[in-house]
Amino acid sequence: MLSKKQKFSSIGKKVLMALTGFFLMFFLLQHLSINLLSVVNADVFNKVSHFMGTNPVVQYVLQPVLIFSVVFHFAWGMVLEYQNNQARDVKYAKYKGNANATWMSRNMIISGLAVLAFLAIHFYDFWLPEINTKYIQGDMSGMKHGSDNFRYHEELVSKFAHQPIRVVLYIVAFMMLSLHLLHGFQSSFQTVGFNHSKYTPILKKLGNLFAIAVPLGFVIIAIYHYNSQPH
Ligand code: HEM
């Protein structure tokens, strides 16, 4: 039997996972919305990207919170997984992993690590060059060298256009993200104590929709630009 204090601290630890998870899901939605603009209208995508890339609130408030959430969610997830494994070895010698949980819920650490591996590649592709241009070279203009056209849309297209390996890698990562969200979305609401006979089933359906539609949106962007003409 867990003591009250142990129960509280284990729920407290999960709450921090849920809160950072909420923020990351909010980020995913805005990231998808902005990137979908790249498919619809290059000019609008360029303008919104420039605003997001130079606005001080986004750069110095939201971006540090985002980076903190990614690092925290990953590191804390590893700690909780380790502690759960320890507890399971000692207390539940007869634990049968597949008896009462879905594949997704038992393998959050695997899908999470796959998303993290994707983020490493993704940062190398997009984020580091952006930091380099803006904060190391000091060029905040958002313009292509020697021209008065924005560079964002062109840079994005050049990463995907006729680049089969990157497109396939990204699509595999989006599928892993989907598996992670299929459990993570509804689990985070459950952790913060949302439990209602009428609304919990609706929330589960909404969670499945989010977990499929958001990664699918990213897949569409990658495939669309695979077929784009590089500038
Ligand atoms: C086809 C899909 C995607 C495209 C085209 C894309 C594009 C981009 C671009 C252009 C940037 C640089 C933004 C900047 O710093 O100015 C960026 C940054 C970033 N992306 Fe993505 N992204 C995609 C999917 C994802 C997914 C699925 C995730 C999360 C699992 C993700 C997480 C991030 C993070 C954390 C950053 C750094 C924060 C930021 O600057 O906004 N991206 N992405």
Q: Give the pLDDT confidence score for residue 9 in this predicted structure.
A: 60
CA 173, CA 48: separation in Å to the nearest integer? 25
CA 178, CA 208: separation in Å to the nearest integer? 9
Angstrom distances, CA of residue 76 to CA of 16, 88, 91, 150, 161? 8, 18, 22, 39, 37
* Ligand 1 neighbour 127 (Cβ under 6 A): yes
CATH number, domain at 62? 1.20.1300
Examine the pLDDT at 8 and tell me if it is beyond 80. no
Q: Residue 49 CA: which ligand 1 atom is closest?
A: 16
Confirm if 39 and 224 have CB atoms less than 8 A apart. Answer: yes
Report pLDDT digits (tens) over 132-161.
Answer: 999 999 999 999 988 999 999 999 999 999
Confirm if 219 and 174 have CB atoms less than 8 A apart. Answer: yes
* Ligand 1 neighbour 134 (Cβ under 6 A): no
**Average pLDDT of the residues of the chain:** 91
Confirm if 17 and 73 have CB atoms less than 8 A apart. Answer: yes
CA atoms within 13 A on the CB side of 76: 18
Task: Tell how far the Cα of 122 is from the centroid of ligand 1, in angstroms.
Answer: 7
177, part of any domain: yes
Q: Give the pLDDT confidence score for residue 99 in this predicted structure.
A: 56
Range(s) of the domain holding residue 218: 4-95+106-226
How much is the pTM? Answer: 0.91
DSSP labels, 96-137: -TTTSS-HHHHTHHHHHHHHHHHHHHHIIIIIHHHHIIIIIS
* Ligand 1 neighbour 222 (Cβ under 6 A): yes
CA 141, CA 147: separation in Å to the nearest integer? 11
* Between 203 and 85, the higher pLDDT residue: 203
Q: Give the pLDDT confidence score for residue 205 in this predicted structure.
A: 97
Q: Give the pLDDT confidence score for residue 88 in this predicted structure.
A: 72
Q: Give the pLDDT confidence score for residue 90 in this predicted structure.
A: 65
Under 8 Å CB-to-CB from 117, ≥6 apart: which residues?
173
* Between 5 and 108, the higher pLDDT residue: 108
199, part of any domain: yes
Question: Among all chains, which residue has been given the structure tokens 């619809």?
Answer: 40
150, part of any domain: yes
231, part of any domain: no
Instruction: Supply the residue whose CA is at minimum distance from atom 18 of ligand 1.
Output: 127
Local structure of 19: helix, strand or coil: helix
203, part of any domain: yes
CA 17, CA 98: separation in Å to the nearest integer? 23
Task: Tell how far the Cα of 222 is from the centroid of ligand 1, in angstroms.
Answer: 12
189, part of any domain: yes
Give me the mean pLDDT over the 116-130 stretch. Answer: 97
Percent of the chain with pLDDT over 90: 79
62, part of any domain: yes
Domain count of the chain? Answer: 1
Q: Which stretch, 96-100, 184-188, 191-195, has highest mean pLDDT?
A: 184-188
Min mean pLDDT across 35-39, 85-89, 130-134, 184-188 is at 85-89
Local structure of 1: helix, strand or coil: coil
